[in-house]
Structure formats: structure tokens, C-alpha cells
Amino acid sequence: MTMAGFAVICLSIATAIVFSTVVHELGHAIAAVLVRHRLREISIGTGKPVLVTKVGSCRIYVRRSIFGGGHIVHIAQHRALYRLKSFVVLIAGVSAQVAAYLALRSQIDPNVASEFTARFLSSLGFLTLVMVASNLWPYRPDGLATDGMQIVELFRRSEREIDEIVEHADSANLLVEVTQLTGEGRHDEIAEAVEPLLAADPNNCEALLQYANGLIFQGRYADALVDARRARESFETSDFKTPEGTALIDNTIAYCIAVLGDPALLPEARERAERAYGIFPNPAVAGTLGAVLVQTGEPTEGLRLVDLSRPAVETPIDVHQTERFAVIGYLANRNVFQARQAFQRGMRVPGVDTGQMQRLAPALGAAEAALWLRRFAEGVVPTRGELADMATTIGFALNAWLSPSLSNERRWELFDQAGGDRATLSNSSLQSLAQLTKALQDEGTRV
């Protein structure tokens, strides 16, 4: 096979995957509009949005991993024929795929079509068969229900549950808005967007959970923990209580405790995080469990899970916390070099309060000094770069130790005055360390 032939095969398969996904989601979307459901979102792919547009009240996303499937968000506003209308929307995705394939197959003769068109049609036929089977099979891959599973759950719902779904349509609409704000990175607007829901119902568990997540993005972990616990209490008495919903709330509670690092609460965090990870074994939940494990005596497994979570970490504050947990794990494993690297990556993250990371500096500085004392005793002479890195780390340790009351902005100002390089955090020298120490002493601190 020539390279050109191989390229044609790959391109035809990729085109068939995207085409099939788009047709599937458009089938759902068109059906939702026809049955008078409120269409709020069409997403093609998974991950962070790379293209966002809006048609009326519906946002349309093309996401980073375009081959990762898709979804729509729609809200039923009327009670009449609820089951029938919802079934039509759910079955419309695979119906559209089959109809599109049959229409193309009837119009294209593979015997006279180009090689690309013939291979596209062949790939589309196979993908249609696979996607129809996988979508209609009732199961939950990674905790997310397939169309088939949603159909089963639709007909299992009681009349009371359906009444409550329709009754809370406005609340659901606002929560969709919150989810979209999260996906678009507009995290500072989340708590404010949820406030009308909480004003109407202070015990709305979904609103409480979203509000807690909004506080997390603002770095208000103690307040977020309070609201996440309230959400958990409210969810216990909800008619919509599910293991998946419980897992999401437990993950939020565990993450807040992990960030706060209260030793008395860490056993509770571990229990909740393990339960959540058992239901949702995805990178985001893995990061929470890893953050807890590095603080509860299992740093090796914790670091593995923290590293597994990195693809799901996108906001600056979460990136910073991920590196902080990595520093804790590496220090517990006495891996000073990797701890230093994680520390430096965390300190580079723009727009976040680095106070928690700086509180790790004394331990890191002590570990760095102890390591080099041992290496000096063994006759090992550090390179200039290693000496500069060591000086930087010990400098931050001195900074945190000598001036715990200084603001973060003033710490950085002093670091700049001492000749430090924020971009790399590796260009300090013993001279700049001395200058930093003197600047701190001049600030009125005591050695």
C-alpha cells in the first residue's frame, strides 16, 4: 500500500467518525426542537471548547477532542406526553445516523465513486452499526448513561418524579447556564449565577453544589466545604438521589478537605474520594483521591493518580493545587529534585495566591539542604545550575520562615529586588539569596 493510499484510508475513517457524530447530535437536537423542548446546548467532541457560537438560547460547542462523541442539553417544559417526547429525542440520534447512511448509500454507487468516497461510505456503514449498538445498549461508560440507559431510566421514572422534573425546569435551565460558564472558563461568574436559585430554595442541592464549585474556583475552600456538605445533606432526602450524584458531591467535599489539609478530616476525605473514584474512575476524580493519598501515607499511589489527573486540570488555581499536591507527595517519597520542579511549576502559575505553596518552602528548603549536605559529604560538587536551583529553593524557605506576615505581592517584589527571575525561578545565586535575606530583615522581620 502506498502512503497516499494509507492517507486516504485514515482521512476517510476520520471524516466518517466526525460526520456520524454530527448527524447523531443533530438528530437529537432537531427532535428536541420539534417536541418543544428547550434546546440549550449542542456539543461535538469532548474536552475544552475550541469553538463556541450561539443560536438563540442554544450554545454550540466544538471541543478539543472532536472524535470523543458529543451530547445535547435539552429541558422539558411541559408535562403532557413527557415520556413519549423524551423517547423521541433519545431515539432520534441513532435514527438520524441510520437514515443518513441509507440516504448516502442510495445515492452513491461504490463501484464508480472515487476511492475516498467508497472508503468513506464503507467506514460510515461500519461506524453506524457500531454506534447504534453501543448507544442503544443500556450501560454507563465512565458513569455517563448511553441513550439506551436513558430510555430505560425514562420508563422507570414514577409520575411524581416526572412532575418534579417539569416543575423544576427553570432551575435546570439556570444550572445549565452554570455548567456552560464552567466549560467556557468564566468561573468567577458561577457563584453569582446560582444565587437566584438559592434565594428561591436555600436547600436546592444542585444549586448548592454548583455554588460550592464556584467558591472553589475563587479559592474559598472553607466556604465551599460548608456548602458542599449542605448539598450532601439535602441530596440525602431528594427523590433524585443516585449513586452518581452522591459521588459528585463526595468528590467536591473530599477535594475541599484535601486542599485545606486538616488532618482530622483527611480520613473522611479518603473515604469519600475512594467511593467517588469507584463510581467515576476518570482523571478529575483521580486527582482528588491522589491529593488525599499523598497526605495520608500513600504518596506513591497518590502521585500516580495526581499525574493521571493532569489532562483534566485546566484552570490556573487547579493547576497550582495539583503541583502543590505533587510537592507533598515527592517530599514524602524524599524525591527532592522532582519536588523542587513541581514547586517551581506551581510558583509560575499566573493569577493565583501562592501562599499555600510557599508554606511548603521550609520543608522543601530543609530537604534540599539535607540532600546537598549528604552529597557534599560524599564528595559530590554541584553544578552551577544545581547550586542556583538550591539557592532559589532555600531562598523561598527563608522567605516563608522569616516573613510569614508579608503579603504575596510584597514577597514577589522582594524576590525581584534580590535578582530572582520569575520566568524560570532558576537564575538565583548565593548573592541574590543573601540580598533576599537582607531585604527581608530590612522589612522588619526577625531572624
pLDDT above 50 (res 420): no
- Per the CB < 8 A criterion, the answer to whether 365 and 394 are in contact is yes
More confident residue, 261 or 6: 261
Query: 145 pLDDT band (50/70/90 cuts)?
Result: confident
| Residues 340-385: tens digit of each pLDDT | 888 888 888 887 777 788 778 777 777 776 776 677 777 777 777 7
In 10 A of CB 263, how many CB atoms?
8
| Least confident piece of the model among 63-67, 246-250, 399-403 | 399-403
| Residues 86-106: tens digit of each pLDDT | 999 999 999 999 998 888 888
Query: 8 pLDDT band (50/70/90 cuts)?
Result: low
- Per the CB < 8 A criterion, the answer to whether 239 and 200 are in contact is no
pLDDT above 50 (res 433): no
Query: With 0-12 CB in 10 A as exposed, 13-18 as middle and 19+ as buried, what is 212?
Result: buried
Q: How far is Cα 6 from Cα 4, in angstroms, rounded to an integer? A: 5
- pLDDT of 446 reads 34
- pLDDT of 329 reads 92
What does residue 46 show for φ and ψ, rounded to 5 degrees? -135, 165
- pLDDT of 435 reads 52
- pLDDT of 416 reads 54
Domain boundaries, the chain: 3-167
- Per the CB < 8 A criterion, the answer to whether 433 and 408 are in contact is no
- pLDDT of 93 reads 92
Query: 17 pLDDT band (50/70/90 cuts)?
Result: confident
- Per the CB < 8 A criterion, the answer to whether 287 and 306 are in contact is yes
- pLDDT of 427 reads 40
Q: How far is Cα 447 from Cα 437, in angstroms, rounded to an integer? A: 9
pLDDT above 80 (res 432): no
| Residues 258-303: tens digit of each pLDDT | 999 888 999 999 999 999 999 888 888 999 999 999 999 899 999 9
